[in-house]
């Protein structure tokens, strides 16, 4: 017989035993030993089948070989056929017994852990806090200084009256000190275009502040997109109408980037020509325009300050800077 040169599997044993017609346990053991799966002892060679084709009687099985033994039996133990095994239904179910759980051992770190992060305060609706562009403590004062109209309705100017009388000049009218007032009302033009979307909450904050200063009756809010000349309105865009300046003496507050904020290649941005025309119309009606622009002063075009009063919409804006810039 040629030596076995490849790896032997249990399938090889089953195929060889089936081919030889082995039906007993001893025959299976000998086939396994011949294929190299035995304990290393030489198995008894199988008897040659008779020439007449009859099946020889099987050899008597060894007594007591129903399982593995440690008594020195050199023959390998082979599992009995499936017919000799107990059925699944006859087996007793094995119950799983819970075992004890040990928590993992804590690791001793060389340094102290970082403190837990502080929870970020949120509003009642879950939105994060909103830091406004203008300083909250000075917002009212900044808006009052930017929107107030200076009139000669203050207290009596004693120095001017005494000077006139000392020169022997008649007092045609009682001289009074200048007084800034908001009684003429304010018209707010709020830009709701895509370029001003990051400042939407700031726009609403300024509108609320102006209403608290001037009053609801003296404040009119009109919204537009990119430029007021394209239509304004207090409601949905379908109700917008061509812009009409307010009555004489009313302040016009522009909350917009004036075409200088947002994407550079935005085809809907208001052009310089459109803004010049709308500002000229407002001036012709006897109204002054104040623009609150979220843009640093170094980026302002030169023509802005010749057409209107511009205030930087920034945390560093103070009342002194507003008064100095409006003179």
pLDDT mean over 78-105: 66
CA distance between the termini of the chain: 118
Rounded CA separation 175/237 (Å): 49
pLDDT mean over 109-116: 77
Selection from 148, 151, 133, 137 nearest residue 210 by Cα: 148
Rounded mean pLDDT of the chain? 79
Burial 204-243, CB ≥16 within 10 A → b, else e = ebbbebbbebbeeebbebbbbbbbbbbbbeeeeeeebeeb
Of 158 and 282, which is predicted with more confidence?
282
For residue 107, pLDDT beyond 50: yes
pLDDT in tens, 294-317: 988 888 998 888 889 999 998 888
pLDDT in tens, 143-199: 999 998 887 777 777 787 788 778 888 878 877 787 888 889 999 999 999 889 999
Contacts of 117 (CB under 8 A, 6+ apart): none
43 pLDDT band, cuts 50/70/90, is very low
Selection from 288, 209, 224, 221 nearest residue 259 by Cα: 224
Q: Tokens at residue 62, please?
A: 């060894």
Q: Are 309 and 149 in contact (CB under 8 A)?
A: no
Rounded CA separation 114/82 (Å): 64
Rounded CA separation 276/308 (Å): 10
């Amino acid at each position: 017989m040629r030596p076995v040169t490849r790896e032997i599997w249990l399938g090889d044993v089953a195929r060889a035993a089936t081919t030889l017609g082995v039906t007993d346990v001893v025959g299976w053991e000998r086939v396994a030993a011949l294929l190299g799966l035995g304990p290393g002892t030489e198995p008894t060679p199988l008897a040659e089948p008779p020439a007449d084709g009859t099946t020889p009687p099987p050899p008597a099985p060894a007594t007591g070989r129903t399982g593995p033994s440690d008594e020195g039996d050199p023959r390998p133990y082979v599992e009995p056929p499936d017919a000799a095994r107990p059925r699944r239904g006859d087996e007793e179910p094995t119950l799983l017994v819970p075992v004890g759980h040990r928590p993992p051992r804590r690791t001793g770190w060389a340094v102290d852990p970082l403190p837990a992060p502080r929870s970020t305060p949120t509003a009642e609706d879950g939105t994060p806090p909103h830091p406004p562009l203008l300083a909250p403590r000075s917002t009212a004062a900044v808006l009052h200084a930017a929107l107030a109209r200076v009139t000669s309705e203050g207290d009596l100017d004693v120095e001017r009256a005494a000077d006139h009388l000392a020169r022997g000049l008649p007092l045609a009218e009682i001289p009074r000190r200048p007084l800034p007032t908001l009684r003429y009302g304010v018209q707010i033009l709020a830009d709701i275009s895509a370029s001003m979307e990051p400042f939407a909450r700031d726009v609403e904050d300024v509108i609320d502040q102006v209403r608290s200063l001037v009053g609801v009756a003296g404040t009119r809010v009109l919204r537009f997109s990119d430029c007021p000349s394209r239509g304004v309105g207090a409601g949905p865009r379908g109700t917008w109408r061509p812009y009409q300046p307010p009555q004489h003496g009313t302040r016009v507050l522009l909350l917009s980037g004036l075409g200088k904020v947002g994407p550079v290649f935005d085809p809907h941005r208001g052009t310089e020509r459109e803004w010049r025309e709308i500002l000229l119309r407002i001036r012709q009606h006897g109204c002054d325009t104040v623009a609150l622009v979220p843009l640093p002063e170094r980026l302002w075009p030169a023509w802005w300050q010749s057409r209107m009063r511009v205030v930087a919409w920034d945390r560093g804006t103070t009342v002194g800077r507003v008064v100095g810039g409006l003179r």
